[in-house]
Amino acid sequence: MRRERRCSGRTTGLLAAAEDEVSVAVAALFGSHGETYQVLSAQAAKFHSRFAQTLAAAAASYAGMEADAGQSLLNIVNSPAQALLGRPLFGNGINGAPGTGQDGGPEGC
């Protein structure tokens, strides 16, 4: 941000090339355009920041909904096998107790 402030003087505070009216008017015109650019650039940076935050929040929400939907589908598919066989049709099984060498629980069918 400091660099932007340092550079803004270079684009907004131009010296006239000569002492005549035209040179002074052209320098003022370019200075005005430089100030307008600085304002628009700051607004664009704020917009970009808000847009990126909104996009990240939407991505997180989408990922959460996908995970929930996948788990719901897995529960629907596994429920008949769970009722008949006592274990799910698909699954990763149950880990054994750490450090004991004990076997884990059964995986899916």
Question: What mean pLDDT value characterizes the chain?
Answer: 82
Domain segments of the chain: what residues? 2-85
The half-sphere exposure of 86 on its side-chain side, counting CA atoms within 13 A, is 2
Joined tokens for residue 24: 């002074």
**What is the per-residue DSSP string for 43-86?**
HHHHHHHHHHHHHHHHHHHHHHHHHHHHHHHHHHHHHHHHHHHS
Average pLDDT over residues 48-62: 97
pLDDT of residue 99: 79
Joined tokens for residue 42: 């700051």
